[in-house]
């Protein structure tokens, strides 16, 4: 179980490179940022991962 999309958006709101950072995290996965449970790498294409990252960076609004 991971953080909410709103929590992710809030944590990275001040990052100038939020879209690039989040795109890389979505594609590569990671561990230790939100606790001990790792997020596996996702098999999305670059464009899809970037779209999700842009939505998150914009505040994850519905």
CATH number for the domain including 39?
1.10.760.10
The yes-or-no verdict on residue 57 having pLDDT over 90 is yes
Q: CA 41, CA 22: separation in Å to the nearest integer?
A: 12
State the greatest distance between any 2 C-alpha atoms of the chain, in Å, as a whole number. Answer: 29
Token code pair at residue 57: 């960076």
Decide if 21 contacts 11 (C-beta within 8 A). no
Answer yes or no: is 22 within a domain. yes
Domain containing 33 equals 5-57
Token code pair at residue 7: 């929590």
Residue-wise pLDDT tens digits, 18-50:
999 999 999 999 999 999 999 999 999 999 999
Count of the separate structural domains present in the chain: 1
Token code pair at residue 55: 């939505």
């Amino acid at each position: 179980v991971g953080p909410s999309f709103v929590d992710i958006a809030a944590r990275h709101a001040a990052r100038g490179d939020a879209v690039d950072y989040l795109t890389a995290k979505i594609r590569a996965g990671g561990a230790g940022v939100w606790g001990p449970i790792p997020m596996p790498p996702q098999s999305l294409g670059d464009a899809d991962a970037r779209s999700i990252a842009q939505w998150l960076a914009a505040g994850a609004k519905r």
